[in-house]
Amino acid sequence: MGADPAMKSAARFGLLLLTAAVLQRGLFSQLRVADVSADLFLLVAVVAGMTGGPDRGAVIGFFSGLVLDLLVQTPLGLSALVYCLVGFGAGRLQGSVLRTGRVLPAMLAAMASAGGVGLYAVVAEVVGQVSAVTARLPVVMIVVAGTNLLLYPLVRPVVAWAWDDQPGLRPATR
């Protein structure tokens, strides 16, 4: 008798978020373009929405943002709220986009990443974070979108593995 698929996915996503935390803090925080690093947690939220649908994207986005909130000095829950919305939105958009080719989903991930950075800045301003929306914001959006575009082909199969219960994402040998 196998483990409950929901528990198996939860454990896999826990491992995925732990790995993302180590990579974000240990590697990607050091690899910067224009003094901006990739946002692996945002990419996990986007890809979770794209592969699992809007509801699942919102849940994984929430936990992805919560882990990030625990690692950085921002108001607790700010990233969780924004990444929840971005995961949901990416799932909604993916449902309306044709699933042909590899370029279109990667571009959607990049656009959702840029949108997530912009939404974060706006929500941060609303809750009183000083200087969240600055003239530098477009640069940050472009760099995060570009780096997440490059990382998308690496993150997508890992998120698909974490879901494990979706027939469309399973390897053909099962």
Answer for the pair 91, 54: CB distance below 8 angstroms, yes or no.
Answer: yes
Amino acid (1-letter code) at residue 91: G
Residue 114 carries which side chain, given as an amino acid letter?
A
Q: Parse the chain into domains and list their residue ranges.
A: 5-162
Question: Hunting for tokens 């941060």 — which residue is that?
Answer: 124
What is the dihedral sign for C-alpha 80, 84, 87, 89? negative
Which of 21, 35, 25 has its CA nearest to residue 143? 35
3-state secondary structure of 112: helix
pLDDT at res. 167: 47
Please give the class, per CATH, of domain 5-162: mainly alpha
pLDDT along the chain (174 residues), means of 10: 77 94 91 92 96 95 96 91 97 76 88 97 90 92 96 95 64 35
Residue whose entry in the numeric block shows the structure tokens 């990579």: 23
Note the pLDDT of residue 24.
92
What's the number of CA atoms in the CB half-sphere (13 Å) around residue 28?
Answer: 21
> Look-up: residue for tokens 């929405």?
49
Q: Do 165 and 142 contact (CB within 8 A), yes or no?
A: no
54: CB partners within 8 A, 6+ apart: 87, 88, 89, 90, 91, 92, 95
- Percent above pLDDT 70 for the chain: 90
